[in-house]
Amino acid sequence: PPPAEAGGFRRIISMNIGVLLPGFSSHAQDWALPVQLNLARALAAQDQLRVIALRYPHRRDQYRIDSISVFALGAGQARGRQRLRLWLDAFRLIRRLHHETPFDVLHAMWADETGLIAAWAGRWLQIPVVVSILGGELVRLHDIGYGLQLSAFSRWIVGRALHGADRIIIPSDYVRQLINTAGYRIPESKLIFGTLGVDAARFTPSSAPPDTQRLINVASLVPVKDQATLLRALALLEPHIHLDIIGVGPEQPRLEILARDLGAADRVHFIGAVDHPELPAYYQRAAIKVLSSRHEILAMATLEAAACRLPVVSTAVGTLPNYPSLGVTAPVGDHAALAAAIRALLDDPGQRQALGQSARQTILDSFTIEGTAAHLRALYRALRTTASHR
């Protein structure tokens, strides 16, 4: 319904939003997906928000985090027939919740099974659907077995999610090109530029000067993050330059061996997992944040680092090519070019400081949680209005 008139003031009617996710925090202190928890809190501050979590937490449950209602299906690693049962259970849950209190919009985070389910439910229940592309939906990296484009069934799932959405949120030209490369013919009218935001109140600059000899990488230790290229780049830099790697994953033993083979073992610090609230301190003490990934959509760690006034050197993937105020780019897999870009910033304190300032300002202008929530509310309201006029 439109805003109601009361006493000369326009009262904004809150929306009923459904968000589908593969996983969501199991309690208020669980930072499983920090950006999604922060965004959900921002949306729920003004609107009614129901989150449907397909696989995590690993329990079937209904609970609340602040004013967010969470419905967990607890499917874990369900595959085959169990996966089809999960999709049907999710559809039935959405149908029941819609009959209890109608949804104004469904928003699927990731254009995979969440997007498929949302598109299916939206069509049958006449609910507008938004799908965000957030991961490996559009790529196929055969040598490391990464990306949903590797199998025909996964390609079909992504296609159904994209074609069934009323709007598709993409964060960059890089993602727009991936849609075309993957062969999906999506009308331009469906594509909306938008990003997820960082908590700029938590990730802030420090008054203390950084360690000008320290680099930081924050990413899972998996092949697509390509820390091997980063280690090879480090080996080309002066021996007093150190690297903190924050994250865990199956690649760590191989990376440790590579660091030793490169003669850089004493310069690489595998810190492991760090609780989300503790991350700002690690960013604040570094001089440059480095991203070596072969593929990214957003790279939230890049945004967190930028919020801490940290310039970024990144491979030319994801959001950064659209926002040169965040940092500088190098070609994917080119360790010499990556090392040269790092060295240029380390050798120019003035440029490094200026880039850090512009990175922080870019976050405040374009990448805050509050800005993301406001952008999504405007989109949801536009879709609700369009649906009400059908």
**Mean pLDDT across the chain:** 94
275 pLDDT above the threshold of 60: yes
Confidence of residue 255 (pLDDT cuts 50, 70, 90): very high
At residue 12, the pLDDT reads 53
Q: Dump pLDDT digits (tens) for 305-362.
A: 999 999 999 999 988 899 999 999 999 999 999 999 999 999 999 999 999 999 999 9
Who wins on pLDDT, 181 or 9?
Answer: 181
Contact 218, 302 (CB under 8 A): no
φ, ψ of residue 31 in degrees (nearest 5): -100, 50
Task: Please state, for a pLDDT cut of 90, what percent of the chain lies above it.
Answer: 91
Picking from 145, 81, 138, 90, the residue whose alpha carbon sits closest to that of residue 113 is 90
At residue 387, the pLDDT reads 79
6 pLDDT above the threshold of 80: no
> What would the mean pLDDT of 383-387 be, rounded to a whole number?
88
74 pLDDT above the threshold of 90: yes
> What would the mean pLDDT of 297-304 be, rounded to a whole number?
93
4 pLDDT above the threshold of 70: no
Confidence of residue 1 (pLDDT cuts 50, 70, 90): very low
At residue 390, the pLDDT reads 64
2 pLDDT above the threshold of 70: no
At residue 13, the pLDDT reads 54
> What would the mean pLDDT of 135-146 be, rounded to a whole number?
97
Contact 120, 164 (CB under 8 A): yes
Confidence of residue 10 (pLDDT cuts 50, 70, 90): very low
At residue 379, the pLDDT reads 97
Confidence of residue 174 (pLDDT cuts 50, 70, 90): very high
Q: Dump pLDDT digits (tens) for 209-226.
A: 999 999 999 999 999 999
Confidence of residue 363 (pLDDT cuts 50, 70, 90): very high
Confidence of residue 76 (pLDDT cuts 50, 70, 90): confident
> What would the mean pLDDT of 135-161 be, rounded to a whole number?
97
> What would the mean pLDDT of 44-59 be, rounded to a whole number?
96
> What would the mean pLDDT of 101-127 be, rounded to a whole number?
97
- Write out the two tokens for 149: 């484009």
